[in-house]
Structure 1
Amino acid sequence: MNATAAAPTPTAPTAPSPAVTPVSETAAEAAIAAACRSLMLPTIREQAGPLAQAAARERLTHQGYLAEVLTAECDDRDARRRIRRVKEAKFPRTKSLADFDTTAIPELPAATLAQLATGAWIDAGEPLVLLGDSGTGKTHLLIGLGTAAAEQGRRVRYVTTAALVNELAEAADAKQLSRVVARYGRLDLLCLDELGYVNLDARGAELLFQVITEREERASIACASNAPFSEWGATFTDPRLAAAVVDRLTFNAHIINTGTSSYRLRTTRSQKGAATT
């Protein structure tokens, strides 16, 4: 019996090697500069030459050199994005968590602050509420946590309650309210300061409620208030609206009481005491 010969397995055609044209160093530098401008790679344009010299000294392979220049571009791009995110947040001043004295707030141990600084609560869409008297560090914490979130690449916006209500009222008058509310809804973190400092009229309270509802259980709001929840009715005038706001801002929230002892006054006294010793 004759055995049937197995048909040969077809093989995929081998891709041709890329053609490489020898060029002078001057021509190579000009080509790199032109390509980097076209592709918007400013770091590679600046670092290609110095990194090539370093790669030659370290005897890196061509792939090793390519990895170095691409990593440099990515690192620099990340740094620029962090700076841009912080600028876009519109913080009124620079405050860092590293400068905050957690020993002054028993409810905020250093481990808890470090955990908040990771931004996991933002990823989970959880609110953060800072309650305490004036000068107890609420705004410092609000800006510090917001800055940390922005440096991690998140979209953050800081605004006082009064400024936000005014912006919403102007948008409503210009028939642009839905666009502005949607813009605030797209943020990863909204830092709302001075909640309860001024009483809102019925219209202002309803406009603010729209932003809070837009972000409910989906995107985080961090707010700071000098009034306990029981007094928020005076801010929102309508008790039912005040209750709805409290309900939305406290559900699965991180609530921190910064106390009554002025952080600013204590810091000023310690600085003066250190200066006189």
Structure 2
Amino acid sequence: MTTTLRLQSCLKRLKLPTVARHAEALAREAEESRQGYLEYLCLLLETEVCQREENQQKARIQQARFPLIKTLDTFDFSAMPSLSKPKILTLAQGEFIDKKENVILIGNSGTGKTHLATAIAHAACRQRKRVRFVHAATLVDELLAAQAEHRLTKVEKQWRQHDLIVIDELGYIPFSKTGAELLFQFCSAFYERASLLVTSNLEFAEWTQIFGNDKLTAAFLDRLTHHAHILLMNGESYRFRQSMKRLESLPNA
């Protein structure tokens, strides 16, 4: 068996596919540039590590289940002058997740809450955080179904494996009494254990409309806001402004 075949066999058994793909090419480059054995080995292994990290990052982003990929470089901060860009950039660095803190984005429909929430969560995926994105109504439906099928404990355990959970559009649809109680129980389980990023079109004083009970609402807000960064995003619809810009750019608009 030739040296090349022996090497490929070993690399396959060791599960080093990137090393297997690049070993010969990098060996030729190393020989031409007179690199030492250790330098060549280091470069080869760094190639494997970089590829694995890239694959893992892609997997984390896929597992987060973002409806669309949004990043901060595509958000128009000039359209929301009351919003602190330095604050958002700081949150995107992920320290709040390490501290088990929450983020709450409150504002009118179309002001970019979901865009920012997705962008911050996407940055967290790149920082090796386990992230999951879900609409509030979808989450409550999942919890209700799990309870009916007697697998609520199993489902909640699966959710608790995440470092950050984005709950989008809380307040658009009111919940049943049981649904509200399950959501309260769900979020309470993450208190000081993981981070929640919540977006809502309702101010806190209106959250009773969601939960239908003053005491439950107060208890929910008490836990959610205890260690939280609260950002207000009220203003003209960001999507409306974007639509108007597109219309103005059309001929004869």
| TM-score interval, normalised by the smaller of the two chains | over 0.9
Q: Please point out which of 162, 165, 174 is paired with 2:137.
A: 162
Alignment of 1:1-277 (within 5 A): 27-276=2-251
Matched positions, count: 252
Indicate conservation of the 8 Å contact 1:184/1:211, yes or no: no
Could you say which structure has the larger radius of gyration?
1
Task: Please report the TM-score for the alignment, with normalisation by the length of structure 1.
Answer: 0.87
State the alpha-carbon separation in 2 of the partners of residues 166 and 238 from structure 1: 19
Superposed CA deviations along residues 49-73 of structure 1, whole A, max 9, x for unmatched, are 1111111122111100110010000
State the alpha-carbon separation in 1 of the partners of residues 177 and 166 from structure 2: 22
Unaligned runs of 5+ in 2: none
State the alpha-carbon separation in 1 of the partners of residues 219 and 81 from structure 2: 29
Indicate conservation of the 8 Å contact 1:185/1:211, yes or no: no
- Residue 56 of structure 1 aligns with an amino acid whose one-letter code is E
State the alpha-carbon separation in 2 of the partners of residues 244 and 121 from structure 1: 22
Indicate conservation of the 8 Å contact 1:181/1:210, yes or no: no
Q: How well do the aligned residues superpose, as a CA RMSD in angstroms?
A: 1.4
Unaligned runs of 5+ in 1: 1-25
State the alpha-carbon separation in 2 of the partners of residues 178 and 99 from structure 1: 39
Indicate conservation of the 8 Å contact 2:80/2:235, yes or no: no
State the alpha-carbon separation in 2 of the partners of residues 42 and 159 from structure 1: 34
Superposed CA deviations along residues 208-259 of structure 1, whole A, max 9, x for unmatched, are 1121111001210001000000010011011111111111111121111111
Deviation >6 Å, runs of 4+: none
State the alpha-carbon separation in 2 of the partners of residues 270 and 30 from structure 1: 60
Query: Secondary structure at 2:233's aligned position in 1?
Result: strand
State the alpha-carbon separation in 2 of the partners of residues 273 and 116 from structure 1: 34
Q: 1:8 maps to which residue?
A: none
State the alpha-carbon separation in 1 of the partners of residues 140 and 129 from structure 2: 23
Query: Secondary structure at 1:190's aligned position in 2?
Result: strand
Query: Secondary structure at 1:223's aligned position in 2?
Result: strand
Question: How far did 1:271 drift?
Answer: 3.2
- Residue 153 of structure 2 aligns with an amino acid whose one-letter code is S
State the alpha-carbon separation in 1 of the partners of residues 208 and 34 from structure 2: 71
Task: Please report the TM-score for the alignment, with normalisation by the length of structure 2.
Answer: 0.95
Indicate conservation of the 8 Å contact 1:195/1:224, yes or no: yes
Indicate conservation of the 8 Å contact 1:103/1:109, yes or no: no
Superposed CA deviations along residues 60-117 of structure 1, whole A, max 9, x for unmatched, are 1110011001000000100001100000000111211110011222342322221111
